[in-house]
Amino acid sequence: MSSTSSEHQSTGTVAHGGEAGGAFPPFDSTTYPSQLLWLAITFGLFYLLMSKVVLPRIGGILEDRRDRIAGDMAEASRLKQESEAAVASYEQALADARAQAGKMAREAADAAKASSDAARTKAEAELADKLAKAEESIDKIKQGALAQVGDIAAQTTQELVKAAIGGEAPSKDVADKAVAAVMK
């Protein structure tokens, strides 16, 4: 950048074409127009480039990333909710099945008990019936037997009397009376 000449001894301000004056360089006003012009050109260009190209691009990148992260988070929470719902419905189904199984078991037990009860009652009733019939027939037989006891006794009496006394056996009426008197 540097030229070979030394600057300090030069007097007066030279408009252009080499070293600019003897003043302290930043305060040398002859260089101001050029600096201002080129600053305006370069900074203006830089501003345009920043506002039209670079900043929208970086802003877009950051926005995309934010959206992507937010989307991923939303997706994750959606999936989490879904899995939680699945777990809840599974547990519900399990509880339902359990309740159903318990109900069925109870019903089966109840039905079995009811049918066995019914069978038992029926058998008991039949048995009682048979018992009653048997008792009745026994009674009948007994009464029949009792009724014949007098006749047999009277005949026996007739035969005994005939054998003992000889002759004519007493009449049946007499024997009956005698038997009846004894059996009283």
Partner 1 sequence: MAGSSGNAIDPIHQFHINNFIDLDIAGIDFSFTNASLFMVLTVAVASLFLILSTNRRGLVPGRMQLMAEMSYEFVASTLRSAAGNDAMRFFPLVFSLFMFVFVANLLGMVPYFFTITSQIIVTFALAMLVIGTVTVYGFFKHGAGFLKLFVPSGVPGYVVPLVTTIEVISFLSRPVSLSVRLFANMLAGHITLKVFAGFVVMLTGAGAVGIGAAIMPLALTIAITALEFLVAFLQAYVFTVLTCMYLADALHPSH
Residues forming contacts to partner 1 in the complex (CB under 8 A) are 1-4, 6-8, 15-20, 24-28, 30-43, 45-47, 49-51, 53-55, 57-62, 64-65, 68
Closest separation in Å from C-beta 73 to partner 1: 15
Closest separation in Å from C-beta 18 to partner 1: 7
**Could you give the 3-state DSSP secondary structure of residue 4?**
coil
Per DSSP, helices labelled H in the chain are 32-49, 55-165, 172-183
Do the beta carbons of residue 10 and residue 21 sit within 8 Å?
yes
User: What whole-number distance in Å separates Cα of residue 171 and Cα of residue 179?
Assistant: 12
Please say which residue, 37 or 138, places its beta carbon nearer to partner 1.
Answer: 37
Q: Phi-psi bin for 167: left (phi > 0), alpha (psi -120 to 50), beta?
A: left
Please say which residue, 57 or 130, places its beta carbon nearer to partner 1.
Answer: 57
Please say which residue, 58 or 145, places its beta carbon nearer to partner 1.
Answer: 58
Closest separation in Å from C-beta 86 to partner 1: 31
Q: Please, is 65 exposed, middle or buried when counting C-beta atoms within 10 Å of its C-beta (0-12, 13-18, 19+)? A: exposed
Please say which residue, 57 or 113, places its beta carbon nearer to partner 1.
Answer: 57
How far are the Cα atoms of 132, 137, 139 from residue 127, in angstroms, in the given order? 8, 15, 18
Please say which residue, 29 or 81, places its beta carbon nearer to partner 1.
Answer: 29
Closest separation in Å from C-beta 69 to partner 1: 10
Closest separation in Å from C-beta 83 to partner 1: 27
